[in-house]
Each structure stands twice: as structure tokens, then as C-alpha cells.
Amino acid sequence: MRWSGRFEGYHAAALRKDLVSGLIVGIIAIPLGMAFAIAAGVKPEYGIYTTIVAGIIISLCGGSKFQIGGPTGAFIPILFAIVMQYGYEDLLLAGFMAGMILVLMGIFKLGALIRYIPRPVTIGFTSGIAVIIFSGQIANFLGLSGIAKHENFVPNMKEILLHLGTVNLYSVLTAAICLAVLLLAPKWMPKVPASLLGILISTVIAAVCFPGHVATIGSSFGAIPSALPQFHLPDMTWDRIEALLRPAFIIAMLGSIESLLSAVVADGMTGSRHNSNRELIGQGIANMITPLFGGIPATGAIARTATNIRSGAVSPFSGVVHGIVVLLVLVLFAPYASEIPLASMAPILMLVAWNMSERHEFAHVLRTRTSDSLVLALTFALTVFTDLTTAVEVGLLLAVILFVKRMSQNLDVSKMLPDPLARHGKVKAYMVSDGHDCPQISIYTVDGPLFFGAAHLFEESLMAGMEAGPRILLLRMGKVPFMDTTGEYNLARLVSRFERSGGRVLLSGTRPQPMKLLEKTGLAARIGATHLFRHTGEAIDYALTQLDAGRCVGCSHFAFRECGKLSQGGGMAVIERSHELK
């Protein structure tokens, strides 16, 4: 996507639309940025810094015209785990390293690979993240005190149960007011950002009616500075880099998945097309620069991107405006943000979790009761009860194993004989029976990919039919779309066994990819060019010339048209066919 193409035909009316949409999205992003940062275990201003720096860079350097970047809910579990285990400074370094990984993914054009992550895996970990976010806000909603934060779901739930006696009714009332506004505002005032309205109303009520009775951002984290922090390079040592490589990779993978999903949503809403590799590079640059200003990892935000489009955005400039709006609010109104109750932030995150849970898709996949249901359930459970890294790794591994199993079941190896009544005398499986099967020529149709998951089935199916000791084995390969080196190895073993017993292997209709592999490995030369045929009819004609005439005398199978003459001792003269069998 060229820069000129992103702003082609730009005019004053488009600028006005970008200004309006950027203002709206910027206002929405402020409470979300703070809320995501708090949930990730860091100070709220770090979420604001991320919204400003990453939001502007992603819009300028990314591959989607409408993408809005910033902190998102999907990152909360992994960021919180890093903060708990390593600390905030190492989180910055992990984010920087994740940015480098994203840039490399874009440079090596790996954007398309993200599409191959199975849908049950993404639904599973997304729903699991939603559960973690929702449950993580229960303590703030209820105003519980003395809560110790833990890295895992179960200990956190135990903490809540142990401290239920510390419920703060003022916090519950504040959270309930904010939640009511969040639910009712879209119906009554659809043009006003519900999250901002909910925070304003609940904060004012808490400050006027029961001041000092609920925990606020200021009382919990200190006053929010009214400026960006100074430029600061993370302290890089080899030991820290090595320790953070795995978390950085997970941040990069999760960020790439969410940003590209968001870009796809934007394409569907606008009819545009994003550049996936450029998007990864833009996300990577943003995540390399944002930590230098104290920001946490960022990615494309689906809800904010959709809002940007619905608000009339025309170009990436709306994303730049959104970042500038947040910066102005930070400079002008930071002291007031410190008075926001934590109980007002909880319903916002709970609603985010509810919206991102994909509950309908989750239920739909479970109802299918297929292997996808197992992948979904396992990924979800591991996300909630262990960690996101384990969930994604195990989910992908299980999905691959089940896919290989399903593909191996698609391979079919069937014994065939010509049907004289069929058009062109095509070979059919139903022609083979105990009393109608040539003892010297075995014809098999191989149907399906011949790869590592199915190669053993291919070999076993053929060897089971070799007890009669046929002289010729004809393999019809026209329905084998793909062959890997394992499949080639098993075919080579079959050829070796057959040749040792004095037989010959013929191939017909071999498709381009398998043939190229056979040529590269030398198996095609070993079989011999004279034993490779384009059509089955040609192969059968050749096979009939290789029969042992003595074994044909008195044979009552009559598998081929020529068998009548051969059975009566009529010699090996082959009747020329006027058509080809396919």
C-alpha cells in the first residue's frame, strides 16, 4: 500500500470527517487505555502513553487505512503475568523485543501465515481471556480490600472468596451507576461515548455524595502526570533478553493475530484491502518505539477501529487525530483523571470482556461435537487455568494432530479392474471379487494426499493385497494431489519389495507435484521412464505384454478382454485398443 494511495484524492471534506472520527475515537480510547493498563498491573498513565504513541505510529506506518491501535483487552493476561513475574521494566523490554519480531515477520512476508491458525484456537483463547478480564474486575466492582494479586485464575478467585467480607457498598453503588449508564446510554444518547459518560457520572456522584469512601486512581496509583515521560532506552542484557524471548514471542503472535483480524474487519466494513505484511511492520515499529516512552504493548483494536469507520473516517489521519486528542486530554485534564474511582473502571472492562467473549461462536462450535469442539474447550480451559502461552501452544499442537488424523482418513486405496460395460472400459472397484481378480496384474487407485500422516495406511493397504504374488502392480496416481518425502519413502519401500520378488511397479496419471518429487529423489528414474504412463489404458496395454503366459492358461478369472484368448493358450499377442482408459 503506497503512501500516496492512502491519501489519494484527499480534500477538505475528508479532513473534516477524519477530525470528527479521530475526536470521537480519542475520547473513547482514554478510559479504555487507563482501564487496560490497570488490569495489566501497571499505572494508568502507561495506557495513555501507549494510546498516544502507538496509536499515531500504527496509523502512519500500518497497512490498513482505518486501523486504530493501542492497548487492548486481549493483552491483559499475558502482560499481567509478565509484570508479576518480571516487573514493569522487563515488560517494556519484552514489548520492544515483540516489536522487533513483528517487523521481521512483516519483512519476511509472514502476514498470510496468521490466517492458518484454526478458528477454534482463536475463539478458545479469546473467550478464556474474556473470563480472566471479567473475573479480574470483581474485586474492584465490589471494593474488596486486602486483595493480593496472583498470576493465575484459581488463586485470584480464592482471594476474592476469602475477602468477600470486605465488600464496600459505596464501591458497588458507584460501579452499578457506571454499568447502568454503559447499558442505557447507547439507546438514549447513541452519539455520546458510553464509557466516558459512565465514568463522568459515576465519578461525580461518588465525589459529591460519599467522598473518600471509594478507592480512586489517585489513591491507588498516585496522581497522573500531565506530560509524556522522557525518552528512555530499556536496559538490555543478554540474560534479560533470553529470559524474555518466550513472552516477547507470545506478545508478537497475539498482537499480529488481533491486528490482522481488526484489519480484516475494517476491510469488510469499507470494501478496502489491507496490506498484512505492512501492517505487521507498522505494529512492530509502534511496539519498538512505545516502550521508549513508558508505554505497554499495543495492537489493532477491533472495537475502536469499527467506531472509527462508523464515525466517517476517510484516511489514516483519523488515527493520528485520535492520538493527538488523547495527548491534549493528558496535558489539560490529567489531575481530574486521578479522581476516577476504580469501581467506575470495573464495569467498562467487564463489558469489554463480555463483548470479546465470542459466546455465540463458542456455543456454536461446542454444539458440533467434533474434534474442533475438543480443541476449543482445551484451549479455553488452559487459557483460564494455566496461561495464554501454554493454551496457544497446546491448542495449535492438538489442532495439527487432529487435522493430520482427519487427512489420513481421507486416503483411499482401492483395487480396480476394467468394466467392459462402462464407457471406454473404465476401471471400477466393484469389478473385483474373489472369482474375478487377475492373479498377475493388480490395479490400485490411490485417492488422497500421500503424506506422513497417511503414508503407513498406503503401504499397509497395498501389502495386504500382495499375498497372491502379482507380477505387475499398477498404481493410478491421478487422484494424489500432494506427496511429501514420507509418502515418497513408503512408495520407494513398496517398489523395492516388489522388485525383490521379481515384479514391476507401473504408475499412471501422476500429477505434477508428486512427479517433481519423484524426479528429485530419483525414484522416477528407478521405476523407469518406460513404466510411467499418462493414462491407465496405456499402462494396462503394457502390463498385458509382461504376463507369464503359462499362468494364464486355464485361468477362469477373465479380468481383461484379452483373457479369453490367453486362457486358451493363445499366446501373448495383445489386442490393440482403439481408446484410452482414464
Q: What is the CATH number of the domain that holds 492?
A: 3.30.750.24
Identify the domain boundary among 340, 357, 374: 357
Pairing of strands 412-418, 299-300: unpaired
Q: Are residues 321 and 450 in the same domain?
A: no
Low-confidence ranges of the chain (pLDDT < 50): 1-4, 573-582
Q: How far apart are CA 502 and CA 506, in angstroms?
A: 14
- Say whether pTM exceeds 0.95: no
In a domain, 266, yes or no: yes
No. of H helices and E strands in the chain?
26, 8
Assess if residue 581 is contained within a domain: no
- Predicted confidence at residue 2, as pLDDT, reads 47
* pLDDT given for residue 580 in this prediction: 41
Rg (C-alpha) for the chain, rounded Å, is 33
Q: Is residue 386 part of a domain?
A: no
**184 and 306 assigned to the same domain:** yes
Q: In this structure, are 350 and 475 located in the same domain? A: no
| Same domain flag for 348 and 417 | no
Q: How many CB atoms lie within 10 A of CB 192?
A: 14
Shared domain check, 417 and 344: no
Torsion of CA 383, 386, 392, 396, to 10 degrees: -110
> Which of 357, 372, 403 is the last residue in one of the domains?
357
pLDDT at 577: 39
Instruction: Give CA angle at 360 (355, 361), nearest 5°.
Output: 100
The residue with cell 497395498 is 462
- How many domains would you assign to the chain? 2
Predicted local distance difference test score (pLDDT) of residue 570: 55
* Domain membership of residue 91 as a residue range: 12-357
pLDDT of residue 13: 86
Q: What is the DSSP letter of 216?
A: B
Clarify whether residues 491 and 422 are in a common domain.
yes
Domain boundary among 311, 342, 357: 357
Domain co-membership, 325 together with 432: no
Does residue 249 belong to any structural domain of this protein?
A: yes
Instruction: Give a yes or no: residue 474 inside a domain.
Output: yes
Q: Is residue 463 part of a domain?
A: yes
At 440 the pLDDT is: 86
Is the Cβ–Cβ distance between 148 and 159 less than 8 Å?
yes
Query: Does residue 242 form part of some domain?
Result: yes
Distance CA(478)–CA(518), nearest Å, equals 14
Cα distances from 316 to residues 8, 20, 291, in angstroms, run 12, 13, 22
103 and 168, same domain (yes or no): yes
Give a yes or no: residue 171 inside a domain: yes
In tens, the pLDDT along 408-420 reads: 888 999 988 888 7
